Chain A
Amino acid sequence: DAGVTQTPRHEVAEKGQTIILKCEPVSGHNDLFWYRQTKIQGLELLSYFRSKSLMEDGGAFKDRFKAEMLNSSFSTLKIQPTEPKDSAVYLCASSLGGGRYAEQFFGPGTRLTVL
């Protein structure tokens, strides 16, 4: 079975650009998560979808970050406009859901560099 896929694997953007990161969850999974990982802050939850409904929109990340899930097998994370401090690894994860005990399956991540 295919795991979580993310594209692109690497992205370089100029400050002020709009970038869109893509994620395909494991087939049949109901929950989808977007995380940002940096050395300083560690793993931070950006957005969480349950059955395509946005359940968590990331609090402090609201203003320039927008995650969408157009169908059960595809999600995007848009950052607009990008800033150098957005340089990080963006991870997508999915789980079967159905409970807080469900393990999450992570994608390989997209490494974003904003110049």
Chain B
Amino acid sequence: AQKVTQTQTSISVMEKTTVTMDCVYETQDSSYFLFWYKQTASGEIVFLIRQDSYKKENATVGHYSLNFQKPKSSIGLIITATQIEDSAVYFCAMSEASSSFSKLVFGQGTSLSVVP
């Protein structure tokens, strides 16, 4: 069975610095997809970035990038030049390519606080 673990409950960083949030996963599948979502204080959940397990290059979108270490079953989210509005809860999730349906398993989330 799939499992996603985020061990960092909360992180606080200074504005304009770089932060990394950790995520490790468990899967029996050889092909899978990893996602990061952001939940703002209003409760809104939005998709940020995706990593396909068969791709060696780390995904990058805007000031979000991933540190994908397949042998360690790890997918870290890196936010560079953090802004106050990056303060939110960040969820790591995965889906297995061989699954008969498109099912996401989420981690518990990491609360990020960006302070001036």
- Which A residues are closer than 8 A to B by beta carbons? 31, 33, 42-43, 45, 48, 50, 55-56, 89, 91, 93, 95, 97, 99-106, 108-109
Complex contacts, A89 vs chain B, CB 8 Å? 43
Q: How long is the Cα–Cα vector from A91 to B95 in the complex, in angstroms?
A: 18
Contacts of B47 in A (CB 8 A): 103-105
Q: Which residues of B contact A43 (CB under 8 A)?
A: 91, 106
Interface residues in B61-116 (C-beta closer than 8 Å to A): 91, 95-97, 99-104, 106-109
What's the Cα separation between A54 and B43 when bound, in Å?
26
Report how many A-B pairs have Cβ atoms within 8 Å. Answer: 51
Interface residues on chain B, number (Cβ under 8 Å): 26
Residue of A nearest to B51 (CB): A101
Using a CB–CB cutoff of 8 Å, the interface residues on chain B facing chain A are: 32-33, 35, 37, 42-47, 50, 52, 91, 95-97, 99-104, 106-109
Give the residue of A42, A45, A99 whose beta carbon is less than 8 angstroms from that of B103.
Answer: A45
A100 adjacent to B44 (CB under 8 Å): no
Given A100, A106, A108, which contacts B95 in the complex, CB threshold below 8 Å?
A: A100
Flag if A101 contacts B109 (CB, 8 Å): no
With A101-B33, A101-B52 already in contact, the answer to whether A48 and B101 are too (CB < 8 A) is yes
A104 CA to B104 CA, complexed, in Å: 9
**Chain B residues within an 8 Å CB radius of A101:** 33, 50, 52, 95
Chain A contacts of B91 at CB under 8 A?
Answer: 43
